[in-house]
Structure 1
């Protein structure tokens, strides 16, 4: 992966962890509204998306023919929070409560799995040549699947900040 992508993955994850580290487990699991996810559920969703992305990229790499697609403006789609995106069932979070440290461990574990998986891809250029259908973005190149991880994370960091305000969490 190029350095920018690595930096973006690191920065978004560090920002996420920074947002949740100071929360009590009660705040972490509180829902400002019955129709909203708790911050813990948002984080669990991010873990599930990251793990699912590894499977999707692995599946896309097995496709024998390059399936070059027109590149989409993934950032504009994911960072536009005026458009609600419904999470597919497989990445819907658990309703059971989580502890903050437990979630940080899950986040660290899923990121380690992602980076380990990506390090096994010898020719990274293949990621731009093959594509797989994304549930929210449609057919996108595999390298854009990697980018969507940190963009999706940034989207949810903004949501977490809003929930903290709704819960009146003080730093």
Structure 2
């Protein structure tokens, strides 16, 4: 895998965990209002997205066609544009412990890296695509990129939530 992508995956995840480690479980599960996710729910959503991305990439490797790259960094990091999470990646409503979520995040990232390591010819990721629920048809290499960009988007959301709890 591209070193820049790997570095971004690790750096973004480290930044996320740093945002969480100083929180009590009450702060972690606190919600600014009834229509907003808690930090715990945001993090659970990130775990679910990473797991769904692994499945999508695996499916796309089996049989798909090449699609053009999209400016996903601009799309995902623009927080003025809101997205509705598909049901499959909506977080649980019950509370989580901070350490429980950190463990889930660690496990999902290990599964992602292990899965990506099984792909012998990484160039195939740019040659195949899969439909993304928010971004449309997306080359598989951009599915990997969207994981850390999506996470960066939610880190900013977490910072905002921290200021209100």
Relative to the length of structure 1, the TM-score reads: 0.96
Residue in structure 2 matched with residue 26 of structure 1 by the alignment: 26
Once the 2 structures are TM-superposed, how far is the Cα of residue 97 of structure 1 from its aligned partner?
Answer: 0.3
Shift of 1:14: 0.2
Partner Cα separation in structure 1 for residue 24 and residue 119 of structure 2? 39
1:11 and 2:11 matched? yes
Q: 2:154 aligns to what?
A: 156
Among 95, 100, 103, the residue aligned to 2:101: 103
Runs of 4+ with >3 A deviation: none
* TM-fit CA distance, 1:68: 1.3
Q: Secondary structure at the match of 2:130?
A: strand
Distance 1:30 1:108 in 2: 22
Alignment-derived partner of residue 130 in structure 2: 132
Secondary structure, in 3 states, of the residue corresponding to 1:101?
helix
Q: What pairs up with 1:17-166 in 2 under 5 angstroms?
A: 17-63=17-63, 67-166=65-164
**TM-score, structure 2 normalization:** 0.99
User: RMSD of aligned C-alpha atoms?
Assistant: 0.6
- How far apart, in 2, do the equivalents of 1:102 and 1:166 lie? 23
User: Quick one: distance in 2 between partners of 1:139 and 1:38?
Assistant: 30
SS at match of 1:125: helix
Give the Cα–Cα distance (whole angstroms) in 2 for the partners of residues 95 and 136 of structure 1. 23
Where 2:138 maps in the other structure, the secondary structure is strand
Distance 2:59 2:7 in 1: 25
Post-superposition Cα deviations, 1:31-69, rounded to whole Å, max 9, x if no partner, equal 001000000000000000000000000000000x5x111
Q: Secondary structure at the residue paired with 2:40? A: helix
> Across the two proteins, how many residue pairs are aligned to each other?
165
